[in-house]
Structure 1
Amino acid sequence: MQITDIKIRKFFDEGPMKAVVSVTFDDCLAVHDIKVIYARDRYFIVMPSRKNPDGTYRDIVHPINAEFRAKLENAVIDAYHVQRVAAEHDEAEAAENAVII
Structure 2
Amino acid sequence: MEITEVRVKLMENSEDRLRAFCSITFDSCFVIRDLKIIDGMNGPFVAMPSRKLTGHCNRCGHKNYLRAPYCNQCGTKQRSGGENDGPQKLYADVAHPINSECREQIQRHVIEEFELELQRAQQPGYRSRYDDDFDSDNVDVAAYAEPQAKNLPEKLPPPAPHFHQRPDGQTSSQRGGGGNDDSFGAGVF
TM-score (norm 1): 0.83
SS of equivalent residue, structure 1 residue 76 = helix
**Correspondence for 2:119:** 85
**Larger relative contact order (Cα-Cα within 8 Å, sequence gap ≥ 6):** 1
CA distance in 2, matches of 1:47, 1:33: 8
Give yes or no for the alignment of 1:11 onto 2:45: no
Shift of 1:41: 3.5
Higher helix share goes to which structure? 1
1:40-80 C-alpha deviation (Å, 9 max, x unpaired): 14110000000001251000000010001001001000000
Partner of 2:104: 70
Q: Residue type of the partner of 2:11?
A: F
> Which structure has greater strand proportion?
1
Structure 1 unaligned regions, length at least 5: 93-101
1:91 deviates by: 5.9
3-state SS in 1 of match to 2:118:
helix
Larger radius of gyration: 2
TM-score (norm 2): 0.46
Instruction: Give the AA of the match of 2:111.
Output: I
Q: How many residue pairs get matched?
A: 91
Deviation of the 1:39 alpha carbon: 1.9
Cα RMSD of the aligned pairs, angstroms, is 1.6
